[in-house]
Structure 1
């Protein structure tokens, strides 16, 4: 049985991970499509920037977010003028989690789009369909399993994000204390091992469920490619 503080961390983590995934998904689909279908100067640079959060230490990513989106940062100061604040808020936790999960999302979606036969898109184009309509009616439906797999992976990654989040938004109970932060906090106090262990079990269950769902969707994509 989870206590009130533990439930608070679980529910906040689900909220942060959900908004991180939903917020990153439109840009993730666009970026994946651009990398899969377009040729443009600096494409490898863009690909490198997309994958950068996987390579950098999470604390570095969190610090860069603090410099950029903090209340004194170039973007954060401008957003503060219109009442939008990310630093030390749950919205900042969602932003940090979304950025850390973005590479996994883009990779899964890009592979799914690349698995779609370009001849199908060309055929739709020869019938007079616009590029946007071809994407909406051909590319998007055929790559949907990969999009779902990418979203699930991003959600699981966002649930477990710690380094960038705690650096950017700290560890404030009820506001930014997500599952990993709560586990860390409980381990710092005497007698907190039981609560930490319960939250670890919850984290494992959620992560395994997400990975199993992602694997199932990935197999569907692989089966489609094999059946060309």
Structure 2
């Protein structure tokens, strides 16, 4: 007989009980490499084709290609403290590497792969681009609804990958999907809801017995009726 799972452990999704971490980690690394490659290539093309020219209008003005260099984060936040962004990036990568030790979920692998690709893409700019090591400016080139980023900050492929990965992670957390392939929170909520419902019904029966003198459905109700 197999040993029962420890109390409080998550309920494994179908097919995850013996799942190894090789496939999720492979997906994470491949997706991160793909996002990074696309980011590097688009930045290279932007520098070649968009330097010293007016923004390129696409999709009727919904999207513009407008080259800019950003020393800070979105909306140029922290532009006077560029050195702090590489430190944050290294910390994020270290945290993801630590979490990947228990990775068994493909959706989480996709989320973390997008985040890694986005973080590394912009980290390369911070380290190697002008004006110097670890204070480099990030190359951005995509602007929506305005050629100069007055509606939404100008961004790049790395930013898009990072945001998509974070949003996916939030969705996975809210739906109870764990990195090890379990879905414990949803099951716990259903069990807790059932227990609360039973207690509420027992309380109603007891109150009815106390007010009418008729036996209720619980032991407490029978005692009051007696």
- Greater per-residue helix proportion: 1
More strand by percentage = 2
TM, length-normalised to structure 1 = 0.29
**Structure ranking higher on relative contact order (CA contacts 8 Å, 6+ apart):** 1
> How high is the TM-score relative to the length of structure 2?
0.29
